Amino acid sequence: MKYRVGVVGLGVMGRNLALNIERNGFPVVGYDLDEQKIVSLQAESKGKSLLGVRDLRKMFAALEDPRCILLMVPAGAAVDSALAQLSPYLKPGDIVIDGGNSHFLDTERRVREFDSHGIQFVGMGVSGGAEGAKWGPSIMPGGSLESWQVLAPILTAIAARAEDGEPCVTHIGPRGAGHYVKMVHNGIEYADMQLIAEAYDLLHRGLGLDAPAISRVFSSWNEGRLKSYLIEITANIFKKMDPDTGQPLVDLILDEAQQKGTGKWTGQNALEIGAPIPTIDAGLTSRILSALKLEREKAAMVLSGPIPRFEGNLADFISAVENALFASKITAYAQGTAMMMTASQEYGYNLNLREIAKIWRAGCIIRAGILENIMGAYERNPQLVNLMLDPYFQNALEGSQTDWRHVIQAAVGWGIPVPAMSASLAYFDAFRSERLPANLIQAQRDYFGAHTYQRIDRDGTFHTQWELE
């Protein structure tokens, strides 16, 4: 028989995607350098249109035209190495899909290289983790429209379904657009997770709530406008008890957050294209700071600060934290979507932000109820400059603003760091400011470097001799 998709790289994600593709009616042949992973795939092949091979030549011979190869290997040099192994067997018309978290500029380079040989290269973001890969992820494929037309039946079949039944996949745009949007997705994910962690810190250190009480708070939040996958799993995390000690497991986990690099890429690219993303940056910086565990332990012995002491109505403050978290999350999405709009112009991606919000509603890590409202915002105005200017989000921010400021003021008074919430409020305040103190910065630049400046009362470029005689 002929097989429809070849999967190269049978780690957790590759193997689960292979099972997903086969379950949805598309025969799969799999290959990996690790023979044990091939054996593991073969063990699941009974009664399935699933084949594991030890030879790339056999894999290509088993595939029907146009041959579709899904590459699931770690980003970076491993992708180039795998592509070098595949190249001798590829022919014009073949489609190679990189389903890992590759940097979008690497994808741009690979598209150019393969285009010259008549081979279509697709950079495809996949979000949802191992379970999502097996049962339905959110899928963000870039590349040519021709490749999308071939892949659409397969990707539509394996994608997650939103509550309205719509598949969480769409053609994102040309070349590296798919991996770019996945990168920004992960940046928003960094921000979202940090904001949730700060809310937890306020409830735990600020209010003195224990894990079961915090679980109940997050469970109630998940019934309202904060409803999301990350809020849901956070509520579950606080329920888990360590079988050895009987303590909440979360209290026994080392407070060092790790990262894989996509958040860093988001911050780096935002600087390159001039897109302000302070909440996303705070999420990244907080992970880096958390890794300084030894330094923090030493600092705790010598640097003093206030001891949190809550006085007031507990239920009212918990409600205020909920509003502060929601307002901050709005700004995180506003920063991510504004960044994608800037990148769309910079790289010629022609991104459809409504469709991107639509495919993030299920399967992916940042799936949340708020995405329905984001879809609505871009339906009302496809050229919306910033989400905060949409009537729904404008009203939401106005309604949360008092609590937002109160919670951050309380955190500062208690000495509890809330870098992401603070960055979110600062972004909101800066964006709504008709005049910022950048006029002084321009004067300073002209003073020490003769960089010139513009005036508000006349046209032209000016330089001043600032030294007083």
Distance CA 210, CA 248 (A): 9
Task: Residue 367: name the closest of 195, 235, 192, 224 by CA.
Answer: 192
Q: What would the DSSP string read from start to end of 181-194? A: HHHHHHHHHHHHHH
- 206 and 310 in contact (C-beta within 8 Å)? yes
The active-site residue out of 22, 189, 198, 322 is: 189
Distance CA 425, CA 431 (A): 10
Q: Is 182 known to be catalytic? A: yes
- 276 and 335 in contact (C-beta within 8 Å)? yes
Given CA atoms 143, 356, 170, 154 in this order, what sign does their dihedral have? positive
Given CA atoms 404, 410, 411, 413 in this order, what sign does their dihedral have? positive
Distance CA 373, CA 391 (A): 10
Task: Residue 28: name the closest of 17, 39, 37, 36 by CA.
Answer: 17
Length of the chain: 469
Distance CA 344, CA 351 (A): 6
- Paired tokens of 433: 């400011």
Q: Is 108 known to be catalytic? A: no
The active-site residue out of 182, 264, 329, 358 is: 182
Per-residue HEC secondary structure of 57-96 comes to HHHHHHEEEEEEEEECCCCCHHHHHHHHHHHHHCCCCCEE
Distance CA 8, CA 38 (A): 10
User: What are the catalytic residues?
Assistant: 182, 189
